[in-house]
Every structure is written in structure tokens, then in C-alpha cells.
Structure 1
């Protein structure tokens, strides 16, 4: 049975998994759900915890983006063999998700005045706090979380791109080590071709489709 990844037609938590699958040359079905059609109650009932992304292989279903990313990266050099380096990558990834927890309330906020306040706090406090530390971590480890490219850097890129899409920024430009990593991953074989074929995401168009529902 072919591999299948189901996620929204946007970057977010599913895009790092797509990047890893393309980089490691794994064939899979890229099943995309339009945000305007969510929640799909029939689909939610079939999901382990009612959330996306989900990954299917040989009749089995796996949920949670980090578990999926690590699974599809198994057997490649994206998984550190050294236990300490493995833990370093996981530690960095959990910190990346800590940052993301500050972004999602901004995206979900319906009150424009309150959303503006949250965006201001992100730009003046949260982004600098986390990204200065991510940048230092990369500089201290040869441009990566643990000395070489791993699945964790794909997670960072996905979160950066999702935040940029939602906030209308290019947050990595202020942080040289992060900016260099973003450019490197986007230029990797498989990833580069996928990005060209996919084209850019348009958040305004996505919001317009959602508002029609």
C-alpha cells in the first residue's frame, strides 16, 4: 500500500514532513485538505485524535507531526546515531514548538484590535527571544542543531515559513545562521523541485476561501 500524508493545503506542521519525504526520495500521496472545508466531521471521526497531519503506510495510521517526521526520516542520515546528538535535536525541536505556541493564538484571534496587540508582542518580544537563541545554537554547532543536518532543521524551516505566511514577515532575515539554513534546505535536491512545483502559498487567498464557508 502506498504511503499517504494527509494535511491541509498550506505549510504549517505538515510541510516539514513533505520536505523530508521529498528530500529522502520517498514516493507518497500528498493528500491536501482545503482549510475552508474543515472541520470535515466524517474525516475527523476516522482520525486517531481528530487532528491533522496523519500518515498512512501498510494499512497503519500514525498521527502527531513530530512522530511522523521522525518516522519518515528513519534509516537516513537525518536521524543522529549518537544518543547525545539525538537528544540535542529533540531539545531544539521542542523549543521550536514552544515558539509556535505563541504564534497560533495570533492566527486564531478574531478580534482585530487584540490580534494587533498579540502581533506587536510577537515582534517586540517573542521572536527575538527565541530566534536569537536558535541562531546562537546553530552558530555553535556548525550551522545545525547537532553538527549536521537532521530532521529537526526541517521542523524549524516549516515553522518559520508558516509564521512568515501568517504574519507577513521574513523573520529569518535578521538572523544570519537561520537565514543560511533556510536557504540551504530550500536548495536541497528534492526539496527545491517540490517548492517549484508547489508554488507559493497565498494566505490571503486561503482566508478568502475560509470566509466563504
Structure 2
């Protein structure tokens, strides 16, 4: 009997969307348990580290950490590497995308307006061009994918979180990077992903 899955996250794309992409790619049924911000204070103390997403398996095991969950589901749907070196390459791509996310989040959620403006200036002039140009070269070398020359969970992770990153950055991050556009196009052309994106809830982020 196949395991049952329940993904608990806010009613957002953000960190939950790459996991949803992976489940839909694999045609695996799961409960998409979306909670509202008002319900979070009551739930937070019951979570392992006070953060979401969480993935419950058969109502027993509870997994945490979004990237670790995505990696687990990627193994279930066979979007991982063929050996340790390929898995390193995939993991490194995901970690680089996550580095970009962390830098964008630090700026977007900064409450001091002067510091926020300075952080965004650094992002625009230095950080984003540095990371995105290298990711674009990586995608070119891998023929429209982020690693190992074929579709892996790194691609679904990147495209799944990209809408959220664009909102944080207040721009289309891949507009000037044709090979990253190709990664997005390749992922969104997958029938099950395309169908999910067309029907998914209208998220806040």
C-alpha cells in the first residue's frame, strides 16, 4: 500500500511550492494542508522547530526542513542523481538557489527602511548579477537544466520557488537570463506541472 502524505504550509507558494511541484510531477496524491496566519500561533508550538513546511507520512512520521523534504520527495519520484557526484551537483544547485532566496528575504523583510534600501541596492548592483549570471551559465552548460544535463529536482525547486523570489525582488529575476528562462519553460511544459499551475489556489505570495 502506498504511503499517504500530508503537506502542511501556509496559503503561499514560497517554500511549499517546490514540494507541491514534486508531488504533482510524480502523480502522487497528497493532502495540501494550507493554514492561515491566524491559525499559526496555535500550531507553532506543536511543530519540531516552530517553522513550516511539515510533511506527515502515514499520519506518523513528521518531516521538517523544506529542502530536506524536497530531497526526500525527489527520491520518491526519481528526480535525483545516478551517483554521489551527480547528487552533489544537484544539491549544490539547490543550495545556490537557496542562497539567493536568503539574501532576497533579508532585504525584503528588513524593517529599517534605510538599511532596506541599501540591501536592495547591493542586490541589484552586485549580488543578483553575480549569482544569476553563474546560474545562467550553468543552465547553458546543462542544455536548459541546472544540473547533470537533464531534468532533476533542482529544476523543479528553482521554478517552484521562482514566483516567490520574483515578488521578493520586485522583478522578474530571469528576464535577462535566457538559459534560466529555458529552465522555467522546460519545467512549466511538463503536463502535470502545467495542470497544477493552472488550477492551484491564488496564493498571497
TM-score normalised by length of structure 1: 0.87
The 8 Å contact of residues 55 and 63 in structure 1, kept in 2 or not, is answered as yes
Q: Tell me the residue number matched to 2:53.
A: 53
Partner of 2:171: 169
Q: For each residue in 1:174-195, what CA deviation from the matched residue of structure 2 results, as whole angstroms up to 9, or x when unmatched?
A: 1111001112212212111111
CA contact (8 A) 2:22 2:77 kept: no
Q: In the alignment, is the contact (CA less than 8 A) between 1:96 and 1:159 conserved in 2? A: no
Matched, 1:3 2:2: no
Listed one character per residue, the Cα deviations across residues 2-30 of structure 1 (whole Å, up to 9, x for unaligned) are 31101111111111001111111110111
Taking the TM superposition and a 5 Å limit, the aligned residue runs for 1:20-99 are 20-34=22-36, 36-37=37-38, 40-58=40-58, 59-99=60-100
Give aligned pairs, total.
201
**CA 1:173–1:154: 2 relative to 1, 3 Å:** same
Q: Is the 8 A contact 1:7 1:53 kept in 2?
A: yes
Give the conservation status (yes or no) of the 8 Å contact 2:80–2:90: no
Q: Which residue of 2 aligns with 1:160?
A: 162
The answer on whether the counterparts of 2:144 and 2:179 sit within 8 Å (CA) in structure 1 is yes
Q: In the aligned structure 2, how far is the partner of 1:136 from the partner of 1:200?
A: 33
User: Structure 2, unaligned stretches of length 5 or more?
Assistant: none
Q: CA RMSD in A?
A: 1.7
Length-normalised TM-score, structure 2: 0.90
- Check conservation: 1:5, 1:29, Cα contact below 8 A: yes
Residue 106 (structure 1) aligned with residue 107 (structure 2): yes
Deviations 1:19-43 (A, max 9, x none): 1111111101111123x426x2321
Instruction: String of CA shifts for 1:100-140, please: whole Å, max 9, x gaps.
Output: 12111122112333322222221111110101010111111
Aligned to 2:180: 178
Q: How does 1:191-202 map to 2 (within 5 A)?
A: 191-198=193-200, 200-202=202-204
SS in 2 for 1:173: coil
